[in-house]
Amino acid sequence: MLRLAPTLRYPNLAKYSNFAACFHRQYQYVDIPDRQNVYHECDCYAKDLNHDLPRYSWLDINLKLPQKTPAYHKHLLLISPPDLVGQEPEWKGSWQRKLELNPKWPYSVIGELKSSLKNTRHGDGVLVNAMSIIHGELANQARRENTANILAIPDMKIYEIREKDIKEFANFIGGGARSNTLNFADYLKGAMEIRKKLETEDTEVYAAVNSFSSREFGKNLVLVCGHHQRDQRCGILAPRIIKKLQTIVEPETELGIVSHIGGHKYAGNLIFYNYLGRDNAQNAKVDGLWFGKILPTNVPTLVKNLNDGNIISEWFRGGISSRSKD
């Protein structure tokens, strides 16, 4: 039975100018087709997989998936360097459990970037992750020791950042450094002074930021959570799901493994970033769809329905529709 897609609202994102309340593409919400067979296949797959997992990590396909995603208006994705021959893949060997604590370049950019974004105007709505491209042109980019490549969504641009420029890049992404932060001295002045300062926050002049050069990235992107050192379920499922996706998505679609995005017990977790071109003002339009409880056996069902404009409600975590603001 088809149901009209409800409007998705995230009140705490209302201040972000590139947030839209509904998707650029109209979707309909549907139930799982042929549910009995799909669940039987998933149940068999999960039981086989659980033999290789500790009991606390067992998959349970009957868990109800909360329809909730992080509240964000921009996603920054550090593009992991290509895998080295004879070594473990980057996502498996270099992504330690707390990736933001990794001191090795370029992964060290993640911790400093997250920290610097906290001091910017809109940095609280920026997700930061690493991704390792398994299929696509980004998988073949050359290693550059002094540069980190970061894909910004919904900008659909790749920025090359040097270590000395991380804080400035955070200001650029976050809309400038905060210049109206309350401190202890403000509280000593009394409630009226605090109120006056808060009321003028929107008109305060923010620190100027330099622009950063970039190159365009105009493709669809599918990300599968595969943070192996953080959770074995994701580490085992991600490459298997990617392998299945490779056989059914359009060849030009980029496929990658992404670091922790939450919800390990609902593995596999996927994000579909559908690029829908640019408007007359050359702002990119992107739909971000989050899914959970996806196993290799139900990937074809998920993808076929998406291609037909259908979202399977039981696997849908939520999503946003974004427009870049250059």
Amino acid at 90: E
Q: How many CA atoms lie within 13 A of 9 on its CB side?
A: 3
Residue with tokens 């109120």: 195
Same domain, 177 and 291: no
Domain that holds residue 197: 74-214
Same domain (yes/no): 96, 40: no
Query: Are 162 and 273 contained in the same domain?
Result: no
- What is the distance between the alpha carbons of residues 194 and 173, in angstroms, rounded to a whole number? 27
Residues 162 and 66 in one domain: no
Cα torsion 147, 151, 152, 153 to 10°: value is -170
Q: Are residues 122 and 22 in the same domain?
A: no
The residue among 157, 189, 214 that closes a domain is 214
- The CA distances from residue 216 to 113, 282, 300, 308, in Å, are 22, 12, 30, 28
- Same domain membership, residue 94 and residue 56: no
User: What is residue 2's three-state secondary structure?
Assistant: coil
If we measure between CA atoms, which residue out of 222, 219, 220, 322 comes closest to residue 268?
A: 222
Residues 78 and 65 reside in one and the same domain: no
Tens place of pLDDT per residue across the chain (326 aa)? 333 333 333 334 444 334 344 788 889 999 999 999 999 999 999 999 999 899 999 999 999 998 778 889 999 999 999 888 889 999 999 999 999 999 999 999 999 999 999 999 889 999 999 999 999 988 887 777 789 999 999 999 999 999 999 999 999 999 888 765 555 555 556 667 666 665 665 444 445 456 788 999 999 999 999 999 999 999 999 999 999 999 999 999 999 999 999 999 999 999 999 999 999 888 999 999 999 999 999 999 999 999 999 999 999 999 888 888 76
Count, residues in the chain: 326
- Do residues 11 and 133 share a domain? no
pLDDT of residue 268: 95
Q: How far is 234 from 163, CA to CA, in rounded Å? A: 30
* Number of compact structural domains in the chain: 2
Distance (Å, whole) CA 245 – CA 299: 7
> In this predicted structure, what is the pLDDT of residue 244?
97
Do 146 and 88 sit in the same domain of this protein?
yes
Q: What is the pLDDT of residue 145?
A: 78
Q: Which amino acid is at 273?
A: Y
Q: Beta partners for 133? A: 256
Residue 200 and residue 118 in one domain: yes
Is residue 240 domain-shared with residue 153, that is, in the same domain? no
- Apex 142 CA angle, 282 and 210, nearest 5: 45
Q: The tokens 């493994």 sit on which residue?
A: 257
* CA–CA distance, 233 with 55 (Å, rounded to integer): 11
Both 83 and 57 in one domain: the answer is no
Distance CA 23, CA 59 (A): 31
Identify whether the C-beta of residue 147 lies closer than 8 Å to the C-beta of residue 139. no
